[in-house]
Structure 1
Amino acid sequence: MAPLRRSQRSATKRTYKSIDSEPEDDHSKDYTGNAPIKKKARVKEVSQDAENVTQAVPKRRRLRGLLQKVAETPLDVLFEIFSNLDPLDLLRLSRTTKDLRALLLQRTSSFVWKRARQNVEGLPPLPDDLSEPKFAHLAFDKTCSNCLHPTKFVQWEARTKYCRKCLETSDLFVTTFDPYGEFRGFLPRFEFRCASGRRRYYCYAYAPALKSLREQSDSFGEDRIKRMVWRAEREKAYKKLLSHARQCEIWTERRAEDRSNELENARVQRLEGVVERLTALGWDDEVKNPDFIDKLRSKKSMRHPRALTERAWSNMSDDIIALAKWHKSDRLKKEMIRAVEGRADLFADAYSDVTRDEPLLPIFPKAESVVIQEPFSTLFFDTPLNLSIADSLQAMWVHLPGVASKWREVQTAELLKLMQEAGLKLDINLATTVFTCTNCRQIFQYPYVLAHNCSFWQPYKDLNPEDWKPYALRYISSGVAWSATLFTTNEESIKKVEYLIKTCGLDPETATQEDMNALDCRVICNHCSISSIDGSKYKYVMRWQNAACHFGYTNANENGWTLLEDPEEIKRVKILEKSEKERGYHCYSSENFACSHCNVLRSRGRDLEDHLLEA
């Protein structure tokens, strides 16, 4: 286009100045007509030392020159440009200068707003009671008409746009009204539901409309016919208003949904761009992992609904690559954990199957004690985790009896070492040979001490990729290899057993467990036996093995035991013992139980119950 002559530009300016600046709609009152008075900036005193310091102050871009060029453009060109904009763009242009405001808000410019409105798909038609700028403000503007704060609320029935705070504080809306009162069929209102808070439902009535309706209704006095005609007209008009309001609400919801989908698509494209760049950098395994994609999607830099540019990638690449490195390390660790746990389960299940038919005595080591012995140790720990050991393990069980025998010899030697350090007679089979657990303070005889639970327990340990042996041992049966370091030889416990042996009529210095078993006697704990109200006494009777580990009294007492000598009472006791044995085997050494069918030792009654259900 050829540049305009000076005369043409002057004519254009005169045309703009001749336009009446008063808008046709009350909504235009929101715009300031007079320019604000500029205040002089206060000049601060500068010291002599600061006078030599030069600071670069960023200059604000001045828009007056650009708007001046717009003012010099012919009207037909401006109108053609404006007709291809959205109503929100026209609304913002009308707020830039007084000349553009006057140009866009005059009645003769309504065709521009109409054509701009037609550019919006699905927008309901302009209602009769609204002007183009007012309709554009309600439909597209995002600010409250009162406080100019962002809001999503539009009171279409009242033709207002107030935020929630202004709804509660403004005099234009009231909540103290009867929604089913006299004007319930044609009173403009605004309702919305809140997902949180004590009050979930809110209803506001437009106060000017309520006041006007009351005044009009009162003006009819006692004339019921005029009032009925008036009500019919108001109801008809309100139905039309309500229909248009519902159309606008539906359009607003669809527009918000479309915008949300548009933003989500932009985020998806941004994510795809990042995935493409990570793939090019060699992170294929990570980008194929849904867990990594979820973590990547939650990053703040990925939530921006903007296209991924080279500059944006350079700003976020370090953070994204650091996340990929961490996820790879975590993924490999989890894969190793699954492999270690799978191998541990395989070994534990196979060991349980192999030892299922073994008798309770001699004590067999637990799985975690066997797996650290050769040749099982080399197979379990030296075979790569990606290879199966099932076939090799099946052929290796022939070595188990020898491994178990060697294990018992080693642990017995450790117990004898404890006895030697305590100055006791080195005879593991003596009836007075008992060991006390330093953790639970229970007393155990040999060989049952080799099966005590406390000696197998250890706290949970996380997997170390460099050394996964402790984690595997902990996972096999929640414990560690048996160790004699957890036990001690308690002098008080030994004295208690000595008094027990004397009660049975044998010499504590020479009596062995076999000698005591041959007596097959029963003893009464005088401490635990009680007398009833009627004078009869309940005797707490047990075999000598139970008595040696009995917790009934703590101090050694030579009067603590009484030998049961009545043949009839002994017979009754043995009958009771038999019935208890049929219910399940009770281990002498602790409150542990063993399956009477397969003699697999179990740590607690619950474990035995689960074992029986599995069997």
Structure 2
Amino acid sequence: MVATRRQSGKLLPPLTAPSTGDVETSDEEDPFGGYESSTDESDSSDDDFAVKRAGRKGRPAAKRAKTSDTPSKMTTKSKNKGKDLSRIVDMPLDVLFEIFGCLLPNDLLNLTRTNKMLRATLMSKQAVTVWNAVLKGRNAPKCPEDFSEPRWAYLLFGGNVCHTCGAKGIRRVDFGLRRRACASCLKEKLVVASKFGTRFPDYEPIVLDLLLYTNTGGWAHGYASNSKFYWVDDIYDMATELGKYQKDVNLRKRGAKQALDDFKNSRIEFVAANFANAQKCYKWASARAKILEEEKKERINQRYQAVEAHLLRLGHLKIDMRSLQNCSAVNKDAELTDLSWSRMRATVEAEVNKHKVERIARERKSLIDSRKRVVKDVYSAYKKELVPIQWAYHPKDEHVYNFEGIAALINDPSASNIEASHYREALEKLPSPIEAFNEGQRALLLSLVTRKDNSSDISNDIAGKAGRTCLDLATSVFRCSTVGCQLRERPLIGCQRAICHSCDVHRGQCYGYHYGFSHLQRDTLTPAFTFSDRGSTAVESLAVLLAMDAREAVPADYDRKAARFVCLNCALLSRAGIHGREALTWRDCVAHFIDARYRKNHDSPNWKLLTHDETMDIKRREQSQRDPADYDEAWSCNHCSTYFDNFARRESVIQHLKNIHGNTNPSEGVDFFYDQRRGRTPRVPVRFGTPTAIAAKSKDPHRCLRCGGSREFTLQGVTDHLKAKHKITDPVIGRDMQKI
């Protein structure tokens, strides 16, 4: 590596380093195509390694007057000490090669681009050991025989650049074609074997057998297939090369035919060997990608740990730093320097402080929730001592949390749990705040009540009978307007029913609303009520038919009548073997008129009161059907607190009364009850009208014995037939009818 001089005795002028564009050399101008001759070293000089000093042509800069007597601490010579690399050429080659062999492949490739002398040295055949050592250090696949080591290193580690167009970010190497290519170039340059004849009709198919190929097409997004794809430029080059051999054969040159056969055989063997080697290279590339990913994660983790160490020194807690793993300033593949830390410190500390506030809020919420659980347990124990039917008239747990004495304990600023005895002392005074709460609810409902009869002398508070207020009347009909409440379409008749109402909101349904579950949950704590004018009007119209005073009648008065009605506004329909209308209870009538507010001919209520016999017939048919409310898990025993937290079905509660309390004939409302906080599942109304013809074949055929004919009925049909034609209201099987 001794630098030579020109014949004039002057050294060559210093060379500037190649531009970064040299890195993106296309495959057709491969900078590492092979080894360079050692004679090129004669064109280099020691100045190739020297640091180029910037200056300007023409007149030198004017000297400045010295303004201080203090000598400079460092002369120009001492400033440049250690930066002049020109003497590196004096080092022995074996020492240089030993140093270069410790570099990474991409660093060694970049070193060949620094100046001509280093390039000539590294591209010479003497540097083969350097390239082999570097490639072996990265467990790279063995270099093919037709490739030089520098070119092989360039293919494997030469940057993520397309060899054709120079596009960046191309990580995948197509080892079948021995090139890096972007998606655009692959789509433009690749030719599938099935379309070779169409695109190149003048070429013989034997050309494809002599070419390198890949199984990954331009539209495959990196996924291999069973098809073979060829590089279009290789097709043209191979056709030209094959044409030369064929021309010699046509000219009948000696040995031309043998040369052509040897060329084809060698190319076929070469293609097969390259395909086998490509499969090994793909496995290596996949393993290397995993290693690089692990190394990247390790570097990111080291950066995170460095940031964490800085924050710990600043007094932050490690628990507040967990979110930094998602912070873009921290989750970066770059070494953390003092400069980068100074730039990102404000952002990182703001993120840590934000999560510190959130952590404190979570811890505070967890503490408050634990206190609420204690209150709930104590409050539940208090309610279990009451008559079970009174549970519905007590505020929900969420309301109790806001009671004055309880709220002070729950929101105590201390960070410790409060003993349950303190809550018991506060809950001993519960009757007063509960009564005040219910009075507040009644006052709220009272403000919603609107009296239509303005000429009435009855006050808004007293409805007539002693102890009854207008809220107790059946005409006080409310509806829940809470968003998401499953019972918002059902009327709440009387203030007691409204006070007991609990919004039934399913959790899965809450996520459908744009403002989220938490907003709906807050709404369900205090239901939003509205007064139903249509419901009140319906009750007043029913009172007229029942000869009752709507200004005095309460819901229990209507229940005792147990009357049945039909809506004359509804059209006559033929269903379930009856041509008529639905038979409704008075509560069903109120719900029906409210639901029919958008239906035709339902502007005002128009009912028909069924006669006693008609009502008894309807009730008999109702009793033949199972009440769907019996299957609701909303029943409880009224003698114990067994079903306090887990209401059961009616049958289970009745069995409990028989087994535990010895009550063989329990009565609803006295021995057991339906939870008033829930909406009772309504019955399917039976129909009132004229029986229609029944299909000849039915699932449960019966025959009328009074007629003696062969006509078949359903059980319900033959019962109605006997009543309508033979005036038999209580038919007996075997005497009046027969099951077929």
TM-score by length of structure 2 reads 0.56
Query: For the residues of structure 2 that align with 1:182 and 1:518, how far apart are their CA atoms?
Result: 102
Superposition pairs of residues 377-456 of structure 1, within 5 angstroms:
377-382=407-412, 387=417, 404-413=434-443, 415-416=445-446, 424-425=458-459, 426-427=462-463, 428=469, 431=473, 433-437=475-479, 439=481, 442=491, 444-452=493-501
1:275 CA drift (Å):
1.1
Superposition pairs of residues 491-530 of structure 1, within 5 angstroms:
494=536, 496-511=538-553, 515-528=557-570, 530=572
AA partner of residue 505 (structure 1): A
Query: Do residues 367 (structure 1) and 397 (structure 2) align?
Result: yes
1:415 CA drift (Å):
4.6
Contact 2:173 2:180 in 1 (8 A): yes
Indicate the larger mover: 405-414 or 5-14.
5-14
Residue correspondences, number:
533
1:320 CA drift (Å):
0.8
Structure ranking higher in helix proportion: 1
1:157-213 Cα offsets, whole Å, 9 max, x none, are 65555555445556xx64456799646765322444789759865833433346545
Q: What SS does structure 2 have at the residue aligned with 1:188?
A: coil
1:91 CA drift (Å):
4.6
1:437 CA drift (Å):
4.0
Query: Do residues 541 (structure 1) and 583 (structure 2) align?
Result: yes
Pick one of 558, 565, 572 that aligns with 2:617. Answer: 572
Pick one of 283, 292, 295 that aligns with 1:262. Answer: 295
Query: For the residues of structure 2 that align with 1:200 and 1:80, how far apart are their CA atoms?
Result: 46
Query: For the residues of structure 2 that align with 1:414 and 1:603, how far apart are their CA atoms?
Result: 21
Alignment correspondent of 1:271: 304
Contact 1:595 1:601 in 2 (8 A): no
Alignment correspondent of 1:118: 133
Change (3 A) 1:95 1:130: same
Contact 1:496 1:556 in 2 (8 A): no
Change (3 A) 1:362 1:329: closer
Query: For the residues of structure 2 that align with 1:331 and 1:346, how far apart are their CA atoms?
Result: 23
TM-score by length of structure 1 reads 0.65
Query: For the residues of structure 2 that align with 1:200 and 1:128, how far apart are their CA atoms?
Result: 26
1:325 CA drift (Å):
0.6
Contact 2:367 2:415 in 1 (8 A): yes
Change (3 A) 1:327 1:372: closer
1:400-436 Cα offsets, whole Å, 9 max, x none, are 6665555444544555566698865322267564244
Contact 1:499 1:557 in 2 (8 A): no
1:584 CA drift (Å):
1.8
Alignment correspondent of 1:584: 629
Change (3 A) 1:411 1:576: farther
Alignment correspondent of 1:609: none
Superposition pairs of residues 92-131 of structure 1, within 5 angstroms:
92-98=110-116, 105=123, 109-120=124-135, 121=137, 122-124=139-141, 126-131=143-148
Alignment correspondent of 1:301: 329
Query: For the residues of structure 2 that align with 1:482 and 1:90, how far apart are their CA atoms?
Result: 75
1:558-588 Cα offsets, whole Å, 9 max, x none, are 982333333x32323333555678542799x
Q: Which has the higher contact order (CA 8 A, sep 6+)?
A: 1
Indicate the larger mover: 302-311 or 399-408.
399-408
Contact 1:124 1:248 in 2 (8 A): yes
Change (3 A) 1:406 1:327: closer
Q: What SS does structure 2 have at the residue aligned with 1:538?
A: strand
Contact 1:529 1:540 in 2 (8 A): no
Contact 1:526 1:561 in 2 (8 A): yes
Indicate the larger mover: 174-183 or 404-413.
174-183
Pick one of 351, 365, 388 that aligns with 1:358. Answer: 388
1:270 CA drift (Å):
1.3
Change (3 A) 1:130 1:161: same
Query: For the residues of structure 1 that align with 2:165 and 2:284, how far apart are their CA atoms?
Result: 25
Contact 1:379 1:389 in 2 (8 A): no
Alignment correspondent of 1:81: 96
Query: For the residues of structure 2 that align with 1:557 and 1:104, how far apart are their CA atoms?
Result: 99
Query: For the residues of structure 2 that align with 1:558 and 1:71, how far apart are their CA atoms?
Result: 107
Contact 1:455 1:482 in 2 (8 A): no
1:30 CA drift (Å):
8.5
Q: Which runs of 5+ in 2 are unaligned?
A: 16-27, 35-39, 44-79, 198-204, 464-468, 482-487, 512-516, 633-646, 654-672, 682-740
Query: For the residues of structure 1 that align with 2:358 and 2:405, how far apart are their CA atoms?
Result: 32
AA partner of residue 266 (structure 1): R
Indicate the larger mover: 304-313 or 408-417.
408-417
1:274 CA drift (Å):
0.9
Query: Do residues 329 (structure 1) and 360 (structure 2) align?
Result: no
Alignment correspondent of 1:612: none
Contact 1:124 1:251 in 2 (8 A): yes
Contact 1:525 1:560 in 2 (8 A): yes
Change (3 A) 1:129 1:364: closer
Q: What SS does structure 1 have at the residue aligned with 2:389?
A: coil
Contact 1:83 1:112 in 2 (8 A): no
Change (3 A) 1:230 1:517: closer
Query: For the residues of structure 1 that align with 2:415 and 2:510, how far apart are their CA atoms?
Result: 21
Q: What SS does structure 2 have at the residue aligned with 1:584?
A: helix
1:360 CA drift (Å):
6.7
Query: For the residues of structure 2 that align with 1:102 and 1:514, how far apart are their CA atoms?
Result: 109
Question: Identity of aligned pairs, percent?
Answer: 20
AA partner of residue 606 (structure 2): G
Query: For the residues of structure 2 that align with 1:534 and 1:26, how far apart are their CA atoms?
Result: 89
1:278 CA drift (Å):
1.5
Indicate the larger mover: 268-277 or 222-231.
222-231
AA partner of residue 141 (structure 1): G
1:3-55 Cα offsets, whole Å, 9 max, x none, are x99999998959x99xxxxxxx9845999x99xxxxxxxxxxxxxxxxxxxxx
Change (3 A) 1:344 1:539: farther
Contact 2:475 2:540 in 1 (8 A): no
1:523-549 Cα offsets, whole Å, 9 max, x none, are 443334735499975354344455456
Q: What SS does structure 1 have at the residue aligned with 2:493?
A: strand
Contact 1:431 1:513 in 2 (8 A): yes
